[in-house]
Structure 1
């Protein structure tokens, strides 16, 4: 897989007329770190003022260093989703198809569970700017699932399109039906889902797979 530009390099390239000064790079680095933390906690509705405050810069500096709030969020979310895609690439290189799928599923769900913004982005809340990386994640998921099915370790009646929905359901909220989630709730949920994907002892599935 080709080396990806990080969010900092992408943003600097978009606004700089030449090589960036050291202070410009430092400010962009601070904005990227602040934006990653803010979208993880708040989601994609976080404001430019909130990101600037967390970064310790003024709003004027914010707009001198990035073209828009949307461009910053797109770069940051693309960077995080790119990390998930790189995990998928390493999983495909694992000679054990089940272990590869299991490793990718755990890493992907962890990323979803730790960031409100990533959940928003994967759900389509950020427009077409992330279409390419989301398409790459879909393709990696398809290849991982189908490889495991060809090896006979994942039930054959599961469509690969089922798997993103199953993984999305693993990362739950903190409360439901008056119950509080355990400290490792998503890990427990994931284990149940993965066991349900195994070929051995599977019951037939109702309905049609997702479109």
Structure 2
């Protein structure tokens, strides 16, 4: 059962209360993406179209809601990695995962914070699971001769994260698909020359 499902099932509230919890979860996901994990309960309630009293009646705390939302999102990334491991072509699977990983980080301020900094949420287990899946992906590619053998798997998350960019650098505007262009360069650098 996911963290959000556990939150939804607490005390099995009435149907209208369940709807409010779902609205709060959707609003929290959007707010985490737009604002980050520092988003306030008032902002989440406003986005959900409910009052702050309803917020605190329906969820244990702002932190519990954010924990559930961010944890579930990280487990979605873990699921993407597991799908990539099922691809018969290790390199294709890795590239597909890399694009989805970077896109999610680029689109969600809060997920970028949670994956990149010490945030106030307790994410030890989801992050450990994600690290393990990335290790498996990289090692599978290395065993297939698709990724350079001299690249430790621990360097790969940093390399993937490095493709995200700001809106400008040295006076040049970033293209709309700048992260995709950067990702192509990084993947070319990771690719084994014999592949």
Same fold (TM over 0.5): yes
> Which residue in 1 is equivalent to 2:7?
11
CA distance in 2 between partners of 1:71 and 1:33 (Å) = 14
Q: After superposition, give the CA deviation of every residue in 1:41-76 in whole Å (9 maximum; x if it has no partner).
A: 111111110110010000000011111111111111
TM-score, normalised to structure 2's length?
Answer: 0.95
User: Could you tell me how far apart the structure 2 residues matched to 1:174 and 1:20 are?
Assistant: 45
CA contact (8 A) 2:67 2:121 kept: no
Q: Distance in 2 between matches of 1:126 and 1:35?
A: 16
* Deviation, structure 1 residue 124: 3.5
| TM-score (norm: length of structure 1) | 0.88
Contact 2:85–2:137 (CA under 8 A) maintained in structure 1? yes
- Contact 1:74-1:126 at 8 Å conserved across structures: no
Q: Offset of 1:130 from its aligned partner? A: 1.3
- Is 1:85 aligned with 2:75? no
Q: Structure 1 stretches of 5 or more lacking a match?
A: 203-211
Aligned to 2:116: 123
Please state if 1:148 is matched with 2:136. Answer: no
Alignment match of 1:136 (pick from 129, 132, 142): 129
Q: CA RMSD in A?
A: 1.5
User: SS of 1:121's equivalent?
Assistant: helix
Q: In 2, Cα distance between the equivalents of 1:47 and 1:196?
A: 41
Determine the C-alpha separation between the residues in 2 that align with 1:171 and 1:79: 22
Superposed, 1:98-117 pairs within 5 Å as: 98-117=91-110
2: CA distance, partners of 1:201 / 1:184: 29
Q: 1:175 Cα shift?
A: 1.7
The 3-state SS of whatever aligns with 1:192 is helix
Q: Which residue of structure 1 lines up, in the alignment, with residue 68 of structure 2?
A: 75
Paired residues of 1:111 and 1:118 also in contact (CA < 8 A): yes
Q: Which runs of 5+ in 2 are unaligned?
A: none
The aligned runs of 1:198-209 (5 Å cut-off) are: 198-200=191-193
What is the alpha-carbon distance in structure 1 between the residues aligned to residue 109 and residue 155 of structure 2?
A: 22
